[in-house]
C-alpha cells in the first residue's frame, strides 16, 4: 500500500477547481505508477520523456514530485516549493496524459496551478509577461508590421522579447485577418451556417488559415462568419496567470454567449483554443456565476454540443445522414496521397479521425505518422530559459521524432491541424 491508515490527504487552496479529482493532492495521487508515460515508439505521452529519457521528465516523475511537495516531504512551502520548477519545466502542457494515462492524470492543469502558486511570492521572468500577453504585443506590432518584423530578426530584439536565439519568431502579416475580411462577403455570426473562431496568430500573423477555411465552407454552399476576436486565454493559462485568465474568460463568455444561445456552430481552427474553452476554463471559472459555470451556464455546454463531442440528437442525426450520403468532394487536382501527424491538443480530444475519414471516403491514401507531436499550443517552445528544449531532431533518440521542416519524406501532401511549432502549415 502507498499510504498507511493514518494518512491524511492535504487540501491546499487552489485557483483551479480540482473537485473532479477530490482536490489537487488526489489529482497528483491519481498516478498509479504503471509507467505508460515512459513509452517511446507510439502515442503522444510523454514528449519530454521521449526526448530526454529521464524519469523526472515523465508524467509519473512529475506526479511523484507534486505529491511529495503537497504532503510536505520537500519542505514547508508545499505546492510552491522551488524544487518543483526543474521537474515541471519541460512539461509541454500537451494534455496527452489526460487521454493516454490509464488513470487520466491532468499534468497540464497541475503545472499551471504550480506556476500560479510559485509566482505569487516570486517575481516572474521578463519573458513570462511577454508570452502571457502575446495578444497585446501582436496587436501593437500589427500597427507597424515591417518595423516589428525587422526588430524580431535581431539578437537584441529576441533578447528583449525573451525568445531563445535559435528560435524563429512569428512574422506579423501586413494585413490582419479583420482587414482581409473587409473585402469578403461574410454572414452575420448569429445567422451564419458556420462561424470561425480566430486565434491570436491567425488574427495577426497567419490570416490565410482562416481565409482558407472560409473558402472551403463557401465552396460547400455554407454561409461563413467570424466570431468576435476575443482571446481564449490559452497563453495566460500556460504561464500560470490564472487571475488574468479568469477575467479573460468572462470577456470570452460575454462575446460568445449570443452565438451559443442561438445554437450557431463555432469552429475552432486552433486545437489549443478549443481545449482552453472546453477543458480549462470550466475548471477556472466554475464558481464565478450563472452563464459562465460549466455546471449550469449556457455557453460551455453549448460549445461542447457544437463541437460534436457531445452532440445533441439533431446534430447527431445530421452527422449520421452525412456519413450515409456522398462525401463532400475534394477540390480539383487534389493529391492522391496525404501524410498526417499527431498534434498535442487535437490528440487529447481525438479530433484527427474526421479529416482522415473524409479523405478515405474520397478514395485517397493516408500515411499516419505515429510519432510524438511537434505542434505545441501556446508559446512553450519559443521561450528562453535554463532548460529550454533543443530542437527535437537534435535530442537524444531522434528516431522517435518527426524530421525537421524540409526533410520530411515525400509521401504526399501534409495534413496537420493547428500550427506546427510556430511555422505555418500548408
Q: How many domains does the chain have?
A: 4
Q: Is 329 within the bounds of a domain? A: no
Q: Are residues 151 and 191 in the same domain?
A: no
pLDDT at 159: 84
Domain that holds residue 152: 136-161
For residue 38, what are the CA distances in angstroms to 33, 81, 346, 399? 10, 25, 21, 16
Stretch 389-393: mean pLDDT, rounded? 41
Q: Is 408 within the bounds of a domain? A: yes
Q: How many CB atoms lie within 10 A of CB 143?
A: 10
Q: Are residues 368 and 307 in the same domain?
A: no
Q: Which three cell numbers stand for residue 348?
A: 487529447
Return d(Cα 230, Cα 252) in angstroms, integer: 6
Q: Are residues 215 and 293 in the same domain?
A: yes
Stretch 112-138: mean pLDDT, rounded? 90
Q: Which three cell numbers stand for residue 201?
A: 496568430
Q: Is 32 within the bounds of a domain? A: yes
Q: Are residues 263 and 346 in the same domain?
A: no
Return d(Cα 173, Cα 352) in angstroms, integer: 28
Tens of pLDDT, residue by residue over 172-219, are 999 988 888 888 888 888 889 889 999 999 999 989 889 988 988 888
Statement: residue 113 has pLDDT above 90: yes
For residue 366, what are the CA distances in angstroms to 338, 353, 373, 394, 413? 5, 11, 17, 28, 10
Mean per-residue pLDDT of the chain: 74
- Contact yes or no for 347/97 (Cβ under 8 A): no
Q: Are residues 291 and 384 in the same domain?
A: no
Q: How many CB atoms lie within 10 A of CB 124?
A: 14
Percent of the chain surpassing pLDDT 90: 13
Q: Is 131 within the bounds of a domain? A: no
Q: Is 229 within the bounds of a domain? A: yes
Q: Is 7 within the bounds of a domain? A: no
Is residue 46 reached through a cis peptide bond, with omega within 30 degrees of 0 on the bond before it? Answer: yes
Tens of pLDDT, residue by residue over 296-352, are 344 544 444 333 333 333 333 344 444 444 556 666 666 666 666 555 555 555 555
Question: HSE on the CB side for 21, CA within 13 Å?
Answer: 24
- Contact yes or no for 422/382 (Cβ under 8 A): yes
Which positions ≥6 away from 398 have C-beta within 8 Å? 392
Q: Are residues 312 and 280 in the same domain?
A: yes
Q: Are residues 38 and 143 in the same domain?
A: no
Q: Are residues 143 and 88 in the same domain?
A: no
Statement: residue 292 has pLDDT above 60: no
Statement: residue 289 has pLDDT above 50: no
Q: Is 276 within the bounds of a domain? A: yes
Statement: residue 63 has pLDDT above 50: yes
For residue 379, what are the CA distances in angstroms to 45, 344, 382? 19, 13, 6
Return d(Cα 217, Cα 206) in angstroms, integer: 18
pLDDT at 43: 75
pLDDT at 414: 46
Return d(Cα 283, Cα 299) in angstroms, integer: 14
Q: Are residues 207 and 311 in the same domain?
A: yes
**H/E/C letters for each residue in the chain?**
CCCCCCCCCCCCCCCCCCCCCCCHHHHHHCCCCCCHHHCCCCCCCCHHHHHHCCHHHCHHHHHHHHHHHHCCCCCCCHHHCCCHHHHHCCCCCCCHHHHHCCCCCCHHHHHHHHHHHHCCCCCCCHHHHHHHCHHHHHHHHCCCHHHHHHHHCCHHHHHHHCECCCCCCCCCCCCCHHHHHCCCCCCCCCCCCEEEECCHHHHHCCCHHHHHHHHHHHHCCCCEEECCCCCCCHHHHHCCCHHHHHHHHHHHHHHHHHHHHCCCCEEECCHHHHHHHHHHHHHHCCCCCCCCCCCCCCHHHHHHHHHCCCCCHHHHHHHHHHHHCCCCCCCCCCCCEEEECCCHHHHHCCCCHHHHHHHHHCCCEEEECCCCCCCCCCCCCCECCCCCCCCHHHCCCHHHCCCCCCCCCCCCEEECCCCECCECCC
Q: How many CB atoms lie within 10 A of CB 122?
A: 11
Amino acid at each position: 500500500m502507498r499510504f498507511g491508515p493514518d494518512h491524511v490527504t492535504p487540501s491546499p487552496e487552489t485557483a483551479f477547481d480540482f473537485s473532479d479529482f477530490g482536490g489537487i493532492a488526489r489529482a497528483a495521487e491519481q498516478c498509479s505508477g504503471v509507467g505508460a508515460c515512459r513509452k517511446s515508439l507510439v502515442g503522444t505521452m510523454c514528449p519530454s520523456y521521449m526526448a530526454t529519457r529521464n524519469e523526472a521528465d515523465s508524467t509519473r516523475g512529475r506526479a511523484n514530485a507534486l505529491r511529495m511537495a503537497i504532503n510536505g516531504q520537500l519542505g514547508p512551502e508545499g505546492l510552491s516549493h522551488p524544487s518543483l520548477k526543474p521537474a515541471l519545466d519541460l512539461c509541454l502542457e500537451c494534455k496527452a496524459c489526460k487521454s493516454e494515462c490509464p488513470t487520466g492524470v491532468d499534468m497540464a492543469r497541475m503545472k499551471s496551478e504550480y506556476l500560479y502558486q510559485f509566482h505569487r511570492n516570486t517575481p516572474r521572468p521578463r519573458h513570462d509577461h511577454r508570452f502571457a500577453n502575446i495578444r497585446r504585443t501582436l496587436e501593437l506590432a500589427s500597427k507597424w508590421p515591417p518595423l516589428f518584423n525587422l526588430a524580431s530578426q535581431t539578437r537584441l530584439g529576441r533578447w528583449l522579447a525573451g525568445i531563445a536565439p535559435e528560435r524563429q519568431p512569428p512574422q506579423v502579416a501586413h494585413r490582419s485577418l479583420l482587414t482581409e475580411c473587409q473585402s469578403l462577403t461574410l454572414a452575420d455570426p448569429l445567422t451564419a451556417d458556420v462561424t470561425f473562431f480566430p486565434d491570436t496568430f491567425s488574427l495577426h500573423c497567419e490570416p490565410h488559415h482562416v481565409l482558407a477555411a472560409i473558402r472551403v465552407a463557401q465552396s460547400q454552399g455554407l454561409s461563413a462568419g467570424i466570431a468576435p476576436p476575443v482571446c481564449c486565454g490559452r497563453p495566460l493559462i500556460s504561464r500560470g496567470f490564472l487571475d488574468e485568465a479568469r477575467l479573460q474568460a468572462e470577456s470570452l463568455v460575454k462575446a460568445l454567449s449570443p452565438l451559443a444561445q442561438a445554437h450557431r456552430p463555432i469552429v475552432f481552427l486552433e486545437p489549443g483554443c478549443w481545449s482552453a474553452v472546453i477543458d480549462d476554463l470550466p475548471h477556472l471559472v466554475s464558481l464565478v456565476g450563472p452563464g459562465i459555470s460549466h455546471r449550469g451556464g449556457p455557453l460551455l455546454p453549448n460549445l461542447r454540443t457544437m463541437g460534436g463531442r457531445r452532440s445533441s440528437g439533431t446534430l447527431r442525426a445530421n452527422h449520421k445522414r452525412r456519413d450515409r450520403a456522398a462525401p463532400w468532394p475534394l477540390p480539383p487536382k487534389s493529391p492522391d496521397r496525404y501524410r498526417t501527424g499527431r498534434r498535442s491538443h487535437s490528440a487529447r480530444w481525438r479530433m484527427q479521425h474526421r479529416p482522415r475519414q473524409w479523405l478515405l471516403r474520397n478514395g485517397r491514401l493516408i500515411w499516419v505518422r505515429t510519432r510524438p507531436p511537434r505542434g505545441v499550443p501556446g508559446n512553450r517552445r519559443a521561450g528562453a530559459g535554463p532548460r529550454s528544449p533543443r530542437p527535437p531532431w537534435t535530442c537524444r533518440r531522434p528516431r522517435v521524432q518527426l524530421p525537421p521542416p524540409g526533410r520530411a519524406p515525400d509521401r504526399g501532401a501534409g495534413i496537420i491541424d493547428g500550427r506546427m511549432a510556430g511555422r505555418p502549415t500548408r
